[in-house]
Structures are given as C-alpha cells and as structure tokens.
A and B are shown apart, each in its own frame.
Chain A
Amino acid sequence: MKAIIKIDNLYKKYKNADFFSVQDLSLQINQGEIYGLLGPNGAGKTTLISMLCGLIMPTTGTFLIDGLSFDKNSQQIKKFIGVVPQEYALYPTLTAFENLVYFGSMYGLKGTELKSKINILLERLGLLPFAHKRIETFSGGMKRRINLIAGLLHQPKILFLDEPTVGVDVQSRNVIIEFLKELNASGTTIIYTSHHLVEAADLCTQIAIIDQGKIFISGTPSDLVNQTEGAKDLEDVFLALTGNQLRDVV
C-alpha cells in the first residue's frame, strides 16, 4: 500500500517547556487507512496532528504528506487535507449553512456546487432541517456534526480528526462513526485521535498508542490485543502500556 504520510524522527519541544511533547517519532500511514492515535492526556496526540496539519512546526525531524513537505508545498497540501479540530471551530452567531458556505468558499468552492455539497452532507448527518438555525442554538452533538462537515466539504484525500466525538450523545456518535466509515470506504484516509477505546477499536484499521511523545505500540486493533500479555481488549493494552496513574496536565 502507498504511504500517504511518512514521519521520520519527529521531535517537538514548545518554548519554555521542560520536556518534548513529541520525541523520536517515526510512523507510516498508508492510503485508505483509518489510523487511530490513542494516548492519555498530554501524550502528544494533538501536537502530532497539529504538526501534520501545518499548524505548528516541528523542532526537528521531517514528515511528508502524500510525498510533499510542508516547508515548500504548504498551499498544495492544504488543498487535499481536511482538519476537524477538537473545539467547535464554528461561528456561533452564524447559521449552519452560513458557516459551511464560508468555510467551503475558503477552499474555492462556490455557487450551486457548494450549496449542493452542503445540502447532501447536512442531509446525511441529519441536520438539513436545522441548516438555517444559528450554531449557538445547537446541542453538542449537532455542533460536532457541523464541525465534521466543515472539514470535508472539499472532499479531502486525508482527514485529520482530533477527538471528533468528545462530549456527544450515543446517537450522534453512531451517526458520526458510520459516516466516517463510509467516507473511508470512498477512499479518504482518516487520522483520528480519541480517548474512546471501544470506538477506536470499532473504527480504526490501524492504531498507535502514544505516551510521553513516543509511540509505544502500533498495529491493527486485534494485533495489539494479541501482542499484549493478558489483554482482553484495547483498554487492557492501553493500561498495560500507559499505566494507571492520573495524567493531569497543565
């Protein structure tokens, strides 16, 4: 399979930080995978995704997105990646439709093509009746679904999802997970972070468990369970590798 993301010896240390948020991280993500990055709070998942999206720069190390480096091809890469941040990255006083028109237009989408894409996705995620309601009136689950749509209006080749189901009800989660599976089946590579291990086991084709900025283990969900002594599920693997101590970070 073709490597769509290739990371070599990546390090990231924030200014004035005492430790590396990401260290000596090497990874290959193949086209068509749903790659789960799992880890406790402060493990370095969001930092890694932020570097891969071009939000922050690595301290050292390199990575290629579909064979291109951010240093020289940032605009080109941004055209085929989609980002769904952890926050509801939407304007609360604008309607769902207005938000989506704006974010879609920033990818150069316009006119009927844009409107039709918005309507299809709103319909698919059960939000069409609320298209012209303001985001500030939406529930957490509705906001998450609009957040997701805003990241994939331009049909990205690679979709980065930072905890896309955090704080949503079961119904919304199911809709989102099923939709992500459909999206992947149509050829989108998905890189996904979560704390929800059952969800990750269900969704991901490959998983890496990260802690202290390093990858502890990677493979298919079943491989990880099989490789870990005494583990019955992904949660056992996770705890065996990252320990039981609290991970409060400030």
Chain B
Amino acid sequence: MWYKLLQAIKKEFLLLKRDIGGLITLFVMPIVLVITVTLIQDSAFQVVSETKIPVLVVDNDNNEISKAIHSQLQETGSLEIINQIDDQTVTEEMAKNAVFKGKYQFAIVIPKDLSKDLNKKVSQNVDQILGEFGLETDSTQTVIEDIPSKEIKLYFDPATQATFKNGIINAIDKMVAQIETKAIYSTFEDQMGSEISLNSNDKFISFKEIVPNLENDAVPNSVQHNVPAWTLFAIFFIIVPLSINLVKEKNQGTYVRLITNPTPNILLILGKTATYLIICLIQFYLILAVALYLFPQMGLPQINVDGKLINLSILTLFAGLAAIGLGILLGTIAKTQEQAAPFGSTFVVILAALGGVWIPVFAMPTVMQFISKISPMNWALNGYYDIMLRNGGIKDIFPEILSLFLFFSLMLAIALIYDKKKRFV
C-alpha cells in the first residue's frame, strides 16, 4: 500500500516537473500575485500622502472661511488645489463638467457669502446665549435675521470608488466642523473681551489603538493582512491544475487503466492529495519567504511569524485539503479541460470574494455575510487572522481546521459516489 502510494506521488511529481506552464501557475503566479496586491494595497495609503490628487475648488466666498478651507486642503499634502482651467477661473458649471467627464476626481464649491453669513449666524447665536446669561443687555432688542444655512457642494467623478469618496466626505465634514467651532470660539472671545485664548488647537480627546496580546507591541500591518489572504487565494487556485489533471486522465484513457488494476481508487486519490498538499505547503513557505525577506527590501512592512510557524503550517495543510477536495470533485464531474479550467478559476474568485479576501465580511450585506460563512476560504482566512493578528493558538483555530477537514471529506465522498454512480448507469 505504502509502495503504491509513493509511486503514485512520484508519478504526480514527474508530471508536474514536466509541465512548465503548470509549475508557473502553481509557484510563480501566487508570488507575483501576493507581491502585486501587497504593493498596491500598501501604496494605496502612500498614494494619498505622496502623490497629489488634483481637486477643483470653486471659491464663491473669497473670504476668511474659504481661505481657511484652502489652507486646510493644502495642509493635507495630498491634494493639489486647482482654481483655474485654461487660464479661466473655475466656475461651478466648469467644475461639474470637468469632474463628470472624469478629468478630475472631485470638485468643491464654496458658496457665496459663506464667511459673512457664518460669522453673522455665530454672532447671533452667541448674542442670544450671552443674553440669556444677562451678559449682553441689549440682546433681547436685537432683531434676529433669518440666515439661510450654507451648503458646500461636492462633485465626484462617477467612477470614483466609494471608499475614497467616503474618505473625502468625512475629511471635509471634519474640516467644516473645525471651522465652525473656531468661529464660535472666536466670537465668544470677542464678545466677552477675554484675553485667554479659548481656541486651542490641542485636542482634549485623542485616539490610541490597543493591539491584543502582542508581546512586542507590534501593530498588525498591511503585509500581515495581505499575505494570509492572498496565500489562501493561491492555495485554492490549485483546484484548476488538479481538476485538469483528473480530466486529462479520463480523456487520455489512463483512468481506465487505473480503475481496472487492483489498486483501490482511494489510494490513487490519496496519491494526488499528498502531492498537492506538499505543493500547497511549498507555495505557503515560498510566499512567506518573500514576505519575510523580499518585502522589507521593497520598502514594505515585515511580517511577524515568530512562534507562529507551526500553527500556520497546520492551518495551511487543512486549507490545502479543502482546496484539494474541491479540485477532486471538479475534476470528477468535469468532462473536458475547457469545463474544468474556467469553472475552477471563476469558482475560486467567488470563494475568495465570499471569504472576505477583497472586502471584509463585516462590510458585506447581511445575506452575503451569511453566505460567506459557508466559504472554506473564509474559515481558513479567519484561522490565519486568529494566528497572525489575534495571536491565537491551535485551540483557537481548531473549529476552522475541523470545518476545513469536514469540507475535504464531504467533497471527496461526493466525488467517489458520483464516480461510482456514473459507472453504474
């Protein structure tokens, strides 16, 4: 039995060794994928700080508030303020057209009399408040003017991603709130004749991120988020070469030879399982090596796997088993390589999307959150995060590895039953 199993594994490795395209798919592409995605995701933050995004500003106020907005936008360092297009001062209509045509990401339109009306409104409110405290005697006699609320308009390129758009809206909202607060403080100071500056820029409330159980107090970085997710994506991609391998055996006729010899079918499948499990582990260690040694050279943050390698390897084995189970089932059902390859790759992309590789599960609609729970990639990803980001041990990932093993067993059982049934009809 062991001899036959070893021969089956040897044969699979020989087949792989001579399939250059397959080797590239299995080992080179995942590394390229992880490097590319990590670079893109890591630089997404840097893009905001290093590369300036041009923003059209239509200033109909031309006063202190619009100047404050200008200076705050400039202070971000990530925005390049544009007031003129082709030597013409930007109007709202020009800004709208330029943004909607995709020439600019977004435009800000500052309304007319914003400074004047804001100061008037704040002053009116402060007068009222002080009047109630008896500090401003003639407040009751002041005629309350109806000042309409002001609107800063934002135009976004329809192709702008929602996350970027939300980020800009939040930043501008915060900026406006600060300007309003500053105006209120200044008015109070003026009205009360105070010599103490109330308008301090020092924040009373600040944030501190608390990281769970990290001995070296390291904050999880983009690499620690990306490497597990995309390693998993690569591991699951083995369902494509594995299913093609099975389909080829059926079409070449070697499958007929194999099932007419006295070696049980399960042993042949175990041969493939063992081979592809070794491949999964090699993929994982290769990607890990890239993250450990190459990423720092590329200016990316280093991954921290101290004391976690054994647990990560165990989880990788079970994630690999789940992928192999799926590959065996697909290879058993598919009749041609043309069926197996596109279906396999598309299915992996769907599993990755459901698993939270691209969008976190909590950000998905409720229905999708429920569906994501049945994605083996989600179980494995949670397991990786448990180990790498939550410092979990083998006990913490036990539910995940059990689910992955049950998934493998289920896929294998369906494949064997399907194959047997097909021969009975």
CB contacts (< 8 Å) of A2 on chain B: these are none
| CB of A86 closer than 8 Å to a CB of B | yes
User: Does B259 sit at the interface, judged by CB under 8 A?
Assistant: yes
- Verify if B51 is at the interface (C-beta below 8 Å from A): no
Nearest neighbor of B257 in chain A, beta-carbon distance: A89
Q: Contacts A53-B260, A56-B423; is A102 near B253 (CB within 8 Å)? A: no
Q: Is the beta-carbon distance between A75 and B260 smaller than 8 angstroms?
A: no
Chain B interface: which size bin?
A: 20 to 34
A86-B418 Cα distance, complex, nearest whole Å: 24
Q: Which residues of B contact A87 (CB under 8 A)?
A: 252-253, 256
Knowing A105-B3, A108-B4 touch, does A83 contact B256 (C-beta < 8 A)?
yes
Q: How far is the CB of A161 from chain B (nearest CB, A)?
A: 13
Most buried by A among B3, B10, B254: B254
CB distance from A55 to the nearest CB of B (A): 6
| A54 nearest CB neighbor, chain B only | B260
Residues of the A chain whose Cβ atoms lie less than 8 Å from the Cβ of B10: 102
> How would residues 333 to 347 of chain B score, 1 for a CB under 8 Å from any chain A CB and 0 otherwise?
000000000000000
Q: Report the Cα distance A102→B423, complex, angstroms.
A: 24
Question: Contacts A15-B425, A101-B7, A106-B4 given: A85-B257 contact, CB under 8 Å?
Answer: yes
Taking a contact as CB atoms closer than 8 A, the residue among A86, A93, A107, A134 that contacts B253 in the complex is: A86
Does residue A247 face the partner (Cβ distance < 8 Å to B)?
Answer: no
Task: Give A150 to B253 CA distance when docked, in angstroms.
Answer: 12
Docked-complex contact A55 and B259, CB < 8 angstroms: yes
* Contact across chains for B425 and A88 when beta carbons are under 8 A apart: no
* Assembly CA distance A222 to B157 (angstroms): 88
Pick from A81, A101, A102: contact of B260, CB under 8 Å: A81
Is B309 in contact with chain A by the CB < 8 A criterion? no
Q: Flag if B262 contacts A55 (CB, 8 Å).
A: no
Known contacts A78-B260, A93-B15, A107-B262; A55 and B253 CB within 8 A of each other: no
A72–chain B nearest beta-carbon distance, Å: 15
> In whole Å, how far is A163's beta carbon from the nearest beta carbon of chain B?
12
Q: Which of the residues A57, A85, A108, A110 comes within 8 Å of B256, measured between beta carbons?
A: A85
Which residues of the partner chain B approach A98 to less than 8 Å between Cβ atoms? 11, 14
CA distance A91 to B258 in the complex (A): 12
Interface contact B4-A105, CB-CB below 8 Å = yes
Query: Does A14 sit at the interface, judged by CB under 8 A?
Result: yes
Q: Are A107 and B11 in contact (CB under 8 A)?
A: no
Binding site for A on B (CB under 8 A): 3-4, 7-8, 10-11, 14-15, 18-19, 252-254, 256-264, 423-425
**Residues of chain A having any CB pair with chain B under 8 Å:** 14-15, 53-57, 75-76, 78-79, 81, 83, 85-94, 98, 101-103, 105-108, 110, 134, 150-151
Beyond contacts A76-B262, A106-B262: 7 other A-B pairs, Cβ-Cβ < 8 A, are A75-B262, A87-B252, A92-B252, A102-B11, A105-B7, A107-B262, A134-B18
Q: Which 3 A-B pairs have the closest CB atoms?
A: A87-B253, A89-B253, A15-B425
